[in-house]
Amino acid sequence: MIMSKVAKLTLKLRKEVKVVDVSLGTNLMEAIIDAGVPIGNSCDGEGVCAKCWVNVLEGATNLTKPSKLETDLVIREKIPEGRRISCLVRTKGDV
């Protein structure tokens, strides 16, 4: 069986849904930007500002587990459960 090295990333926006192919291990924030979707950030993806958080509606198990840095940022910035800091997350499958 050949394993796919590509995952589907589904972005549900206010007025549309975009589905893009991303390589496994792709940084989520970079994938969102590459898909032409603007995403807030002021630290250029360095994992400092936490402005690039996203709601993960499906496929959360197909993302890397939260790092200590991400967990600390979520607590510090009071980000609600189920949201991830996209610059600190990589894809492992369809999301």
Task: Note the pLDDT tens digit of each residue in 5-60.
Answer: 889 999 998 889 999 999 999 999 999 999 999 999 999 999 999 999 999 999 99
| Cβ within 8 Å of residue 57, ≥6 positions away | 12
- The H or E element containing residue 72 is helix 68-77
**What pLDDT is attached to residue 82?**
86
Q: Are 80 and 44 in contact (CB under 8 A)?
A: no
Secondary structure (H, E, C), 46-69: CCCCCCCEEECCCCHHHECCCCHH
> Which token pair is 95?
């999301």
**What pLDDT is attached to residue 14?**
86
